[in-house]
A and B are shown apart, each in its own frame.
Chain A
Amino acid sequence: MFVIGRLLAIALLAAPAADAPLLTAEAGLDGVGRPGRWLPVRVTIDARTEDINGDLVAEWGRARVRRALILPAPSRVEFDLYIRTGDVRDVVLVRLEQGGRETSRVTLPVRIVGVEDQTALTVPAGRWPHSWRGYDAADALMFDTGDAPSARSDRDALALWRALRDAGDADRALPAAEPVPPASSPASHAATTAILYTIAIAAVPLLVRRGRSRVLLLYPAIALVVAGGSAAAWATGRSSAIVVRHQSFAEQFEGAATTLVSMRATAQYPADEDFSLRADTMDGVLDGVSSSASGDETRLDAEGRPMLDHRAGLGSTESFSVEATSGFRAFDVTHDGPRTRIVNVSTAALDRCEFPPAFSTAAADRLAPGQSIESSSVITGPDPIVACRFAGAPLAFTEPHHAVTTSGSTLVVYHLAGARDQ
């Protein structure tokens, strides 16, 4: 409580002007940050007299998270940002930018704890993190109050963190990933237009009659075809879809309602425009691999969805990765005495399935939607998993001006409660 009180006091000490939005923030669960672990930053913004249209930026070391902010006055909003870096500092800087200039800032102290140190952290009453990442700095939790989180999303976040901690980050056994499907070349986006134009321009001299009276039509005909070809070249791809090719992991954990998704992907852009690709989740991060301009900056839109801003060329490709939680579920698992029943609750056929030894060796390697399979004995082992693959993505993407199509496969893994939990 003392730490939280101190953090709030320091944040409030940066007294803003009377009409400026009031920015307050708290960093870290129990004020603690660890290298390589997520640090929650809970931000409250009070637009008292003027609307806010800008960005909220949190910086910790070299890492930066930027969230778009649109807030009409008078109103107040509270949300969490999550930031992670190996280059930790003992302060987090949170600032509000409007019209390209900083209008408010708070500096929040963070107590740094080593990676190897065992850390039990206290969750203040009513201050539950909204994402499992809010608990990431902790090895164990203590609670100011005995109540469970009232909001379902908060309960899911805590359950997922517990499941992740139980499964163990380092020794979680996952089958090998497949490579991301290769992107098509930029030429494939331009080929139809270029080849049709070449045929058209070659046909003009042949079609224009070589008679004395009409031969002069050759020049306006060429000019017309060039003008039409230029218009077609300009329009090529402008209404086409962005293609996201991915290779995804979707991990379900027994006792957790949400699915942990990690994705390696490429986005291929159909035109030379500004694109803003968004992952359809409110809890995640989308990192561009090849775009170095923004450094370690990750971005969120005004609703909190992770996004990737990119100025693209026609047919150009950008690599990115996604870490997120999703409501997608492939498996539903129930236990009946020593038997465990697994149902494919997704709409996709699950292929190349692998089951623990407790399932029959003749178990089908394919589960159709709605199909189930049952173990013949108790499941044992340190981290028993069921793994299947399907053609599809556990997460959708959107872009304000273009459709987005996805192609690739997902390895979906269910971590069963094994011997460790039993």
Chain B
Amino acid sequence: MMRAVHGIAIVLRRELQLIARQRAFGVALLIHTGVMTAFVLAWSSGPAPQAFPGRGFYDSVRLVQLAVLGLLLPWTVARVVAMRPPRLMASRAVAAALAMALLAFAAFPVMLLADRMEDAGVAHALRGELDVQALSALAVATVLAWRRLCHDRLIGWMAATISTCGLVAAVLYLQDYAR
């Protein structure tokens, strides 16, 4: 048992090293944080922060963040996770999930500023972060699933992006409908 755990840890460590070496991870980190910073500052540059109809400022910015991550995460996972050999897929999935969780969490300080502009409370920002983390796990799962089903890397990535965005849109629609 201990040998198995030790073996998984070694593989996981190696997979995390592989992801960290990929330039795509750093680029995605910068794009996510930079785009969210730009949105938060641009939408709050008037006398009062702007928001989508029927939503507060933080919730509006979080929708933008979900859209950005819905496009960015599948691309990042597709770029940084190797598919062969298939026997290491479980460790790769765990490593990718950890790395993407950190990538998704990187904009939290900017989102906290947006939350404070609306005076929605820190608990509100932390609840919003749960949605973002759920999206990062979903993105990893859909990319890996589509890559198993579809051997063409480009088509697999596009299918994963479409299905991730579609699932996010459906969940948001159902949340709004339930409200």
CB of B71, distance to nearest CB on chain A (Å): 19
CB closest chain-B residue, reference A217:
B20
Answer yes or no: A17 CB below 8 A from chain B CBs: no
**Which residues of B11-67 are within 8 A (CB) of A?**
13, 16-17, 20-21, 25-26, 29-30, 33-34, 37, 40-42, 44-49
Answer yes or no: A101 CB below 8 A from chain B CBs: no
Contact with B along A184-222 (1 / 0, CB 8 A): 011100110111011001101110101010011011001
CB of B133, distance to nearest CB on chain A (Å): 13
CB closest chain-A residue, reference B13:
A216
Q: How far is the CA of A229 from the CA of B117 in the complex (A)?
A: 16
Q: How far is the CA of A215 from the CA of B25 in the complex (A)?
A: 13
Q: How far is the CA of A212 from the CA of B119 in the complex (A)?
A: 45
> In the assembled complex, which residues on chain B have CB atoms less than 8 Å from the CB atom of A312?
119
The 8 Å CB contact of A205, one of B25, B108, B122, is B25
Answer yes or no: A315 CB below 8 A from chain B CBs: yes
Q: Are B33 and A218 in contact (CB under 8 A)?
A: no
CB of A150, distance to nearest CB on chain B (Å): 49
CB closest chain-A residue, reference B42:
A187
Q: Are A314 and B113 in contact (CB under 8 A)?
A: yes
Chain B interfacial residues counted at CB < 8 A: 36
> In the assembled complex, which residues on chain A have CB atoms less than 8 Å from the CB atom of B155?
none
> In the assembled complex, which residues on chain A have CB atoms less than 8 Å from the CB atom of B21?
210, 215
> In the assembled complex, which residues on chain B have CB atoms less than 8 Å from the CB atom of A316?
48, 117, 119
> In the assembled complex, which residues on chain B have CB atoms less than 8 Å from the CB atom of A115?
none
CB of B60, distance to nearest CB on chain A (Å): 14
> In the assembled complex, which residues on chain A have CB atoms less than 8 Å from the CB atom of B20?
208, 215-216, 218-219
The 8 Å CB contact of B46, one of A185, A193, A223, A229, is A185
- The DSSP consensus for interface residues of chain B is helix
Q: Are A195 and B33 in contact (CB under 8 A)?
A: no
Contact with A along B97-109 (1 / 0, CB 8 A): 0110010011011
Answer yes or no: B116 CB below 8 A from chain A CBs: yes
Answer yes or no: B137 CB below 8 A from chain A CBs: no
Binds B, one of A62-70, A76-84, A230-238, A323-331: A230-238
Q: How far is the CA of A212 from the CA of B18 in the complex (A)?
A: 10
Q: How far is the CA of A208 from the CA of B21 in the complex (A)?
A: 10
Q: Are B33 and A201 in contact (CB under 8 A)?
A: yes
Q: Are A311 and B119 in contact (CB under 8 A)?
A: yes
> In the assembled complex, which residues on chain B have CB atoms less than 8 Å from the CB atom of A215?
17, 20-21
Answer yes or no: A183 CB below 8 A from chain B CBs: yes
CB of A167, distance to nearest CB on chain B (Å): 36
Answer yes or no: B169 CB below 8 A from chain A CBs: no
Answer yes or no: B81 CB below 8 A from chain A CBs: no
Answer yes or no: A271 CB below 8 A from chain B CBs: yes
> In the assembled complex, which residues on chain A have CB atoms less than 8 Å from the CB atom of B33?
197-198, 201-202
CB of A201, distance to nearest CB on chain B (Å): 5
CB of A303, distance to nearest CB on chain B (Å): 28
Q: How far is the CA of A316 from the CA of B112 in the complex (A)?
A: 15
Provide 8 A-B residue pairs closer than 8 Å at the C-beta atoms, listed in order of the A residue.
A194-B41, A198-B34, A198-B37, A198-B110, A201-B30, A205-B25, A210-B21, A234-B122
Q: Which residues of A contact B (CB under 8 A)?
A: 182-183, 185-187, 190-191, 193-195, 197-198, 201-202, 204-206, 208, 210, 212, 215-216, 218-219, 222-223, 226, 229-230, 232-234, 236, 271-272, 311-317
Q: Which residues of B contact A (CB under 8 A)?
A: 13, 16-17, 20-21, 25-26, 29-30, 33-34, 37, 40-42, 44-49, 98-99, 102, 105-106, 108-110, 112-113, 116-119, 122
A-B pairs, top 8 by smallest CB distance, nearest first, are: A205-B26, A229-B109, A313-B119, A314-B116, A233-B109, A187-B44, A272-B119, A233-B112
Beyond A191-B41, A272-B116, 12 additional contacts (C-beta under 8 Å) are A194-B109, A195-B37, A197-B33, A197-B37, A198-B37, A201-B106, A202-B34, A216-B13, A222-B106, A236-B116, A272-B117, A314-B116
